[in-house]
Structure 1
Amino acid sequence: MEELKRVVSVPFKKNLAVSLSVKDFEFSLAFDLKWFSPKIASKVKDRALEAGLLSLKAGVLVPGFDVESVRLPHAFKPAENFLEGQENSGKKPSSLKEEISFEKILEFISADTGVNRQRLVSEINSMQDRLSYLVDIRVVALIVAKKFGCDIEAIFGKVSMSVLGFSDYT
């Protein structure tokens, strides 16, 4: 997670910006810094959104942490396969099957409630902001789901396994 935070902070530091468009963020990683292909840069953005390191507000990416507090080692460059390390870091192999992404949660909530994804993301980002980004975005999504009357029983176990590392929530 620390390396992902470093990677996410660099485009904001390089551009002296408090927010960046998705296009500018991915362009910075892929072409300015030449760290990743455009496809991998997009995956970095997605992973950062899932982890709550970035949020999408009014169509722009905003870091969920103090970018200036992130210290980069001299000549920092992420490992080519650093995303693979992010997927497996701190996880037991058996728990990888239980992983559920923020996107899948959004799909579930939207299908169950009929609320469009844009409105859901807006509500989730607003609540994430009110909670000072201290709560995993997937948990915030479940809170918003309940607000819209969604029955979250079917995904609650997977989210708890992903976030907390266990599924027994009785």
Structure 2
Amino acid sequence: MDEFLYVVAAPFKQHAASLISIRDFEFALSFGLKWMSPENASKVRDTALGLRLLKIDGNKLVPTFDLGKVEIPRGFRPSEKIFHERPLIEQIMAMIVACSGMDNRNVIALISRKQESLGDMVDIEVAALVVAREVGCDISKIYPKVLADMFPNMK
């Protein structure tokens, strides 16, 4: 399971709730679990919203993935790497994992098979987008990142 998904799920599991306020989410990450600063907790929230791992319902955050399928390992602490921009393929894979409930290994296999079926003529990110659509994920928010990554000189 993806480390970032553990971090996003942790406040909900700590509160034993399927929706929590933005304040409670950030408070749980920074003060309850003592994993990060309040500023980094806000970054996690924003990234999770951008990846569509979370959605806002009124003033509450709601996970878009099945919390019951996320088992946070005992003694887990996030590494510093979650605060850095993740490669685009990892972002797309995280969206697929969250949307479908599949594990990373199955998602990687699906993406590899899709790329092979397309004659290896498309980048891995494009194959991942096709897989995401096939499993029913809403990936519209990541299109601008894909375009910027694949066509950096295009404005």
Which range, TM-score by smaller chain? 0.5 to 0.7
Structure 2 SS opposite 1:81: helix
Contact 1:52 1:137 in 2 (8 A): no
What is the SS of the residue equivalent to 2:80?
Answer: coil
Count of paired positions? 107
Task: Give the Cα–Cα distance (whole angstroms) in 1 for the partners of residues 74 and 39 of structure 2.
Answer: 26
Partner of 2:87: 89
Alignment partners' CA distance in 1, 2:8 and 2:32: 14
Q: Percent identity?
A: 38
Q: Find the aligned partners of 1:7 and 1:137 in 2 and give their Cα distance.
A: 24
Task: Return the offset for 1:89.
Answer: 2.8
Q: Which among 131, 135, 139 is matched to residue 136 of structure 1?
A: 139
Cα displacement (A) at 1:83: 1.8
For structure 2, the 5+ residue unaligned runs are 90-134
Q: What code does the residue aligned with 2:56 have?
A: L
The equivalent residue for 1:26 is 26
TM-score by length of 1: 0.56
Residue of structure 1 equivalent to 2:147: 161
Letter in 1 for 2:141: R
Q: Which amino acid aligns with 2:147?
A: M
- Structure 1 residues 136 and 31, CA gap change in structure 2 (3 angstroms): same
In the aligned structure 1, how far is the partner of 2:80 from the partner of 2:68? Answer: 24
Closer, same or farther: CA 137–13 of 1 in aligned 2, 3 Å: farther
Structure 1 position 166, deviation (Å): 3.6
Q: Which runs of structure 2 are paired with 1:1-170 in the superposition (5 Å)?
A: 2-84=2-84, 87-90=85-88, 134-136=137-139, 138=141, 158-161=144-147, 166-167=150-151
Could you list the per-position Cα deviations for residues 62-116 of structure 1 after superposition, in whole angstroms to 9, with x for gaps in the alignment? 00100110122221110133221xx13355xxxxxxxxxxxxxxxxxxxxxxxxx
Conserved in 2, the CA contact under 8 Å of 1:29 and 1:36?
Answer: yes
Partner SS, residue 61 of structure 2: strand
Q: Give the TM-score of the pair, scaled to structure 2.
A: 0.61
Give unmatched runs, 5+ long, in structure 1: 92-131, 140-155
2:138 partner letter: V
Q: Name the amino acid aligned to 1:135.
A: D
Quick one: distance in 2 between partners of 1:70 and 1:34? 20
Q: Structure 1 residues 79, 159: CA separation in 2 closer, same or farther (over 3 Å shift)? A: closer
Query: Does the 8 Å CA contact 1:9/1:67 hold for their aligned counterparts?
Result: yes
Q: Following the alignment from structure 2 to structure 1, what is the Cα–Cα distance between the partners of residues 14 and 74?
A: 15
Which segment drifts farther, 11-20 or 73-82?
73-82
